[in-house]
């Protein structure tokens, strides 16, 4: 009777399915389970130790995150009012950009609106002022023209500096022209044409003797130049309004630093 036991053991040894590599497919080895469980415990302990050893500042920041989110979800009244006015400005500026491109509702009048904008550009005004200064023979005329040239240069430099600081883009993706690049008028805030037109109109109203119809036309010209920049999509409404205010402030500054006739004659002789 003891003979069958050695035979069954020999069969089990010869059976290929009883090998360890095949048994692991159906029944995982105990050693592997123990190693896996131990590695999981070690990783869990390491994570707990890392959480305990974390910086207390990070804990405070994590605790403050919900409060910061609540502050963002509940902005102040000033923030709501500012964002609402900004949204209205952008919406109205886009609607008034009727000549922003050839496909717009007034696309056929784009060239005429651009020509109106050129009348308020700095390069033609500086060139015309220099020509008049060369041909002028009176001391009073040279004094006015020299101060006008100072006002134009001050306007170009100050507007270019403010635009570089603000870096606000226009309501439409309109590429600046060659004259705009020459005067560094590449951004939207403030509108350089509007500030220049306001400054020039106020300057001429104060230092030239003009009839009432011409004075009215001069003011209308300044308004048309400013809002023509909105029509071609280069500036927002607030950019133009701020340009008008800034042009008036420039005029007041030029009046404060007004150069006398002797100073103008000295500069002309040096030039």
- Residues classed as catalytic: 193, 235
Q: Give the tokens for residue 111.
A: 């060239």
Positive or negative torsion for Cα 215, 246, 200, 92: negative
Q: What is the C-alpha separation between 98 and 109, in angstroms, rounded?
A: 9
DSSP single-letter state for residue 120: T
Q: What is the C-alpha separation between 180 and 162, in angstroms, rounded?
A: 15
Burial pattern 252-262, b for ≥16 Cβ within 10 A else e, equals: eebeeeebeee
Using alpha carbons, select from 267, 269, 265, 266 the residue that is nearest to residue 140. Answer: 265
Q: What is the C-alpha separation between 5 and 47, in angstroms, rounded?
A: 53
Q: What is the C-alpha separation between 147 and 188, in angstroms, rounded?
A: 27
Q: What is the C-alpha separation between 241 and 74, in angstroms, rounded?
A: 31
Torsion angle, CA of 210/128/246/94, rounded to 10 degrees? 100
- With contact defined as beta carbons under 8 Å apart, do 249 and 190 qualify? no
Q: Give the tokens for residue 192.
A: 């350089």
């Amino acid at each position: 009777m003891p003979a069958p036991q050695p035979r069954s053991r020999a069969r089990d040894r010869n059976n290929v399915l009883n090998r360890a590599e095949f048994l692991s497919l159906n029944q995982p080895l105990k050693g592997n389970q123990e190693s896996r469980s131990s590695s999981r415990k070690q990783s869990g302990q390491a994570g707990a130790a890392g959480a305990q050893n974390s910086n207390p500042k990070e804990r405070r920041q994590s605790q403050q995150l919900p409060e910061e989110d609540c502050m963002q979800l509940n902005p102040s009244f000033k923030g709501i009012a500012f964002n609402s006015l900004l949204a209205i400005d952008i919406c109205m500026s886009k609607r008034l950009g009727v000549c922003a491109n050839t496909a717009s509702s007034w696309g056929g009048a784009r060239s005429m609106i651009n020509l109106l904008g050129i009348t308020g550009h700095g390069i033609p005004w500086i060139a015309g002022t220099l020509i008049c200064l060369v041909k002028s023979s009176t001391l009073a005329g040279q004094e006015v023209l020299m101060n006008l040239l100072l006002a134009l240069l001050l306007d170009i430099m100050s507007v270019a500096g403010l635009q570089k600081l603000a870096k606000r883009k226009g309501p439409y993706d309109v590429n600046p022209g060659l004259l705009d690049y020459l005067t560094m008028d590449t951004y939207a805030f403030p509108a350089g044409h509007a500030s220049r037109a306001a400054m020039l109109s106020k300057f001429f109203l104060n230092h030239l003797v003009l009839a009432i119809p011409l004075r009215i036309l001069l003011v209308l010209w300044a308004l048309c130049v400013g809002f023509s920049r909105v029509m071609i999509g280069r500036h927002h409404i607030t950019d133009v309004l701020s340009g008008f205010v800034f042009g008036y402030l420039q005029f007041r500054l030029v009046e404060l630093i007004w150069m006398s006739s002797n100073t103008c004659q000295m500069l002309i002789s040096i030039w």
